[in-house]
Chains A and B, each alone.
Chain A
Amino acid sequence: MAGFADLNVPQGPDKKGLQSLLEAAARRESGSGAAAGPSRAGGAGAVRRFGPAGGGGCRPLPAVLVGYSAVALNHVIDFKEKKQEIAKPVSPSELFPSLPIVQGTSKQLKVLTRLTLVVSDPSHCNLLRSTSSNIRLYDIIAVFPKTEKLFHIACTTLDVDLVCINVTEKLPFYFRRPPVNMAIDRGIYFELLYTPAIKDSTMRRYTISNAISLMQICKGKNIVISSAAERPLELRGPYDVANLGLLFGLSESEAKAAVSTNCRATILHGGCFPAVCADWLAVRRVELRFWAQTPELLLVYSRNSEECLWGGVHGEEASQG
């Protein structure tokens, strides 16, 4: 079973806040409090809570862990403003000296880097087409199209992993079946955010209506639900997020996949396995699905010819390329 992942944690300048958010996502220790009294569950004993015994520099944990095993730090680039340089991604090991351990397992939280491009003009996409090395250094590349034409371009030709769907306002365009089906075939996932739905009721209406209109076209496939949580209190556990997926019109299994297997497939699509460059190889969607279900076997096919370039048995955690 693929672990849960939250693919959108906005990367702000506040390092400590980010650290606490990551801890909230990974670990389950609530803030300080006196020990428990008698528990009704037949003497389950005192459950003691105290702050994290984490590495130096992390402040007392505010929130309880909810159980994600991978998180992607999101760096948003908006082209409407002055031309911004795309900087190299900051390596997570520099930002966080000690990563919290995921509750229930003994592995550390996996922190990936992600770049989101907000495009409102076709000329902005040229950046993606150029083989700029800085972009390729990010693990996941997402695009946020603002017009129908750009949505079509993003689904059919752009080399991205995620297409973000606007949830904060009424969509200016309707989804059509051809680009959505092409995106599904290419292995691109559509991303929905849930934090605006929690915060504000108007946003909630827009989120639900945009999500349901997407569902009617794509039938619930290739959806990833992620938070854009800026504070630990806006984060929700993976089972709760899967339940929110039910509100958005997904079926129960699709909703659960939206938080676990689809995220994993996106990470793989982003090219996290060694010896593979995302430029000239594409793992076919069928093989990606197969990988997500049985992590033991991976077959990599070349984009042009149908020959199998690499096949092998792979461990559960693919190391980053």
Chain B
Amino acid sequence: MVRFKNRYVLCEVVAEEPRGRHCIEDRAVATAVRDAIARAYGDYGLACCSMSFTVKYLNAYTGTVLLRCRKDFHRLLCSALPLVRQLESRGLRCPCFLSTLHVGGTIRSCQKFLIQHNRRQLLTLLQNCTNEEERQRIRQSVLSCSLTEGQSQSGDEEEEDDTETD
């Protein structure tokens, strides 16, 4: 059966300033990646990678981005990702870089990886907790990390203050 095979690239947007988070939106990321491919590979590269290129998932709080491209051209995309230097949206410019976390063939495999990755992050944050209440919340979040069969929409919407220890 002939079917189009895709590759899903999971990246993380790393920015220096906290206010840069507002720049992270799908159109800004797509434009920035396209520009980087154009600069590195020119018209040919841009044309190849645009065949099935979209930003499938974006989480502005954690800076996680899931990109899709054709399987044959995912090398072009992956090698052009380090050349992204800034994101622009609504006139705001935010210097940042993209760090590749995982390349998978399906969204589900990237999802599984992301869950494990987030769980590890939570455990690291658990070590740096300063008060008991945060500790409890993080423990709760870690326990609720799982891939459930009917996409549960709960997410723990916890507005926690950030503690910047200086």
Interface on A for B, CB 8 Å cutoff? Answer: 28-54, 59-60, 62-64, 66, 103-104, 194, 197-199, 201, 204, 232-233, 235-237, 239-241, 243-244, 246-247
Contact = CB atoms under 8 A, between A and B. Distances in A.
14 contacts: A34-B161, A39-B62, A43-B154, A45-B144, A45-B156, A47-B122, A50-B165, A103-B124, A204-B39, A233-B96, A236-B99, A240-B82, A243-B78, A247-B79
Interface string B145-156: 111100111111
Majority secondary structure of chain A interface residues (helix, strand, loop or mixed): loop
Interface in B36-89: 39-40, 57, 59, 61-63, 75, 78-79, 81-83, 85
B61 A41 contact: no
Query: Range of interface residues on chain B?
Result: 35 or more
B115 A44 contact: yes
B31 interface: no
Given A33-B18, A34-B162, A244-B82, A237 B155 contact: no
A47 B115 contact: no
B120 interface: yes
B62 A45 contact: no
Contact of A236 (B82, B114, B137, B159): B82
Nearest 9 interchain pairs by C-beta: A38-B155, A45-B141, A51-B164, A53-B128, A62-B16, A32-B162, A50-B162, A237-B99, A64-B14
Given A45-B141, A47-B121, A103-B124, A243 B39 contact: no
B15 interface: yes
A34 B164 CA distance: 12
Given A44-B118, A239-B100, A59 B166 contact: yes
B30 interface: no
Given A28-B124, A36-B155, 16 more contacts: A31-B17, A35-B160, A37-B155, A38-B157, A43-B156, A44-B114, A46-B158, A48-B160, A50-B163, A50-B165, A60-B164, A199-B85, A201-B39, A233-B85, A240-B82, A246-B78
Contact of A243 (B79, B142, B160): B79
Interface string B104-139: 000000010011001111101100101000100110
**B contact face: mostly helix, strand, loop, or mixed:** mixed
Nearest to B119: A44
A29 B123 CA distance: 12
Contacts of B79: 243-244, 246-247
Contact of B14 (A30, A53, A197): A30
B21 interface: yes
A201 B35 CA distance: 12
Given A51-B162, A233-B97, A46 B114 contact: no
Contacts, number: 190
Contact of B122 (A45, A103, A199): A45
Contacts of B148: 42-43
- Residue of A41, A50, A233 ringed by the most chain B CB atoms within 10 A: A41
Given A31-B15, A44-B119, A232-B16, A36 B124 contact: no
Nearest to B134: A48
Contact of A33 (B21, B82, B100, B142): B21
Contacts of B115: 41-42, 44
Contacts of A29: 124-125, 128
B17 A51 contact: no
A53 B85 CA distance: 28
Which has the most chain B C-beta neighbours within 10 Å: A50, A239, A244?
A50
B162 A49 contact: yes
Nearest to B151: A42
A233 B95 contact: yes
